Amino acid sequence: MANHKSAEKRNRQAQVRRLRNKINRKMMKTSIRKLDEAMADGSADAVKDALKEATIVIAKTASKGTIHKKNASRKISRLTKRVNAMTTAA
């Protein structure tokens, strides 16, 4: 429990940031899930569009500080690799 005015403010700020990070992380996971669903359907155009959208959302999540920049880069790289493997196999 916060006993000082500055500690109470810090606690309020942490709660707001936690909720903001939660929203950003959820949007990122949703875009990745949509990409997975598009890959399951097999439409190459839908997969490319979903990959583009997921890449944008992941990069935004990293730029806002919710996830680390290298974590975002790794996610984007792995998703791109999966999409490329699927499109070359088809």
Could you tell me the pTM of the whole model? 0.88
pLDDT of residue 31: 97
d(CA 30, CA 26) in angstroms, rounded, equals: 6
In a 13 Å sphere around the CA of 34, the CA atoms on its Cβ side amount to 16
Q: What is the second-level CATH architecture of the domain 5-89?
A: Up-down Bundle (1.20)
pLDDT band at 2 (very low <50, low <70, confident <90, very high): confident
Instruction: For the chain, state the CA radius of gyration.
Output: 18
d(CA 28, CA 49) in angstroms, rounded, equals: 15
Task: Kindly list the domain boundaries of the chain, sorted by start residue.
Answer: 5-89
Residue pLDDT, tens place only, 38-76: 999 988 899 999 999 999 999 999 999 999 999 999 999
Handedness of CA 51, 53, 56, 57 (dihedral sign): negative
